[in-house]
Amino acid sequence: MHGKTVLLTGASGGIGFVTARELARRGARMVLVCRDAGRAEAARGAILAEVPEANVDLLLCDLSLISNVRDLAAEVGRRYEKLDVLINNAGVMPGPLTITREGHELSWATNHLAVFALTNLLLPQLEAAGQGRVVTVASDGHWLGEIEPSQAARNDPEKYSAFAAYCDSKLANILFTNELAHRLDLTSITANCLHPGIVDTGLMAPGRTGLLKMAWSLGKPFMISPERGAQTSIFLASAPEVAHVSGRYFKHSKPARLLSSRAQNRAEASRLWRISAEETGIG
């Protein structure tokens, strides 16, 4: 990874931090995108403590707002001529229905629309790298997801379920990856996504209540560490053997079967792209 520049969102903790540390250890210049300045500096300090020679830059962004994503992409364009790898790692597990000031449900905005917008806006830098890679952290939770036809349907408090919203966003990650890979077929950029496993991270925010919190607590003893959970992200970002692989879903650093027929539907992927382009004004 020497000489390569990697931009990673959600880098201040969990599998994002481990991915950043290990790619820095391999020689990559890491650009860490974090929401909180204090946690970002702590992550950078922790990486430098273990990898003193690491080259680590910080960029702050609340990815739940597309206007912020646009500003982030513009700053990346000013600072870096090329990006060898974009890792869309940031994600939230929503609690009560939260609508951003731009009108989007929080997990849809953070987990999918930000991925859609940032990736599209950074395609020039990825193409300039000669062989750019887009890696998106999805989830096996996609098998319970569906793509709602409108913003109004996603924002309906009568129908809202935090778990369903999360699963919807993870299905969107996979459909987006499939459509992106199709659109980039004649370029040097690849796009893949992955299931990291059920990882013991801060995805479930403190103070969360209800059945989802209870299920998370019961499952905690069976969860894997962030170190194990980060391995497939690291593999897809760095392994020579996947340099020309695109449009695939990975688990345990190997191609895996998608659990939902929806996730393999080209018409559904195309429909999602149209919805996303309308909601972001990008693409």
Res 104: pLDDT: 97
Q: Rounded to whole angstroms, what are the CA distances from 207 to 1, 94, 108, 220? A: 39, 12, 21, 16
Query: Are 135 and 233 within 8 A, CB to CB?
Result: yes
Q: Looking up tokens 């870096």, which residue turns up? A: 80
Res 202: pLDDT: 57
Going by C-alpha positions, the residue among 79, 27, 76, 24 that lies closest to residue 46 is 24
d(CA 228, CA 242): 19
d(CA 52, CA 45): 9
Query: Are 114 and 277 within 8 A, CB to CB?
Result: no
d(CA 30, CA 243): 19
Spatial CB neighbours of 256, under 8 Å, sequence gap ≥ 6: 195, 249, 250
Res 9: pLDDT: 98
Is 166 an active-site residue? Answer: yes
Residues 181-220, buried b or exposed e (16+ Cβ, 10 A)? Answer: beebeeeebbbbbbbbbbbbbebbeeebeeebbeebeeee
Res 224: pLDDT: 83
Taken as a whole, the chain contains a residue count of 283
For 155-193, write each residue's pLDDT tens digit.
999 999 999 999 999 999 999 999 999 999 999 999 999
Cα torsion through 104, 194, 39, 94, rounded to 10: 30
Domains of the chain with CATH codes: 5-280 (3.40.50.720)
Helices (H), the chain: 14-25, 37-50, 66-79, 106-107, 114-121, 123-128, 151-154, 162-183, 211-219, 226-229, 231-238, 266-280
| Structure tokens given for 102 | 């731009």
Phi-psi region of 150 (alpha: psi -120 to 50; beta: other; left: phi over 0): beta
Query: Are 46 and 155 within 8 A, CB to CB?
Result: no
Res 207: pLDDT: 44
The strand pairing partners of 105, in sequence order, are: 99
Res 206: pLDDT: 44
Res 234: pLDDT: 98
Query: Which of the residues in the chain have pLDDT under 70?
Result: 200-222
Annotated active-site residue in 80, 160, 166, 249: 166
The pTM of this model reads: 0.93
| Structure tokens given for 72 | 């982030």
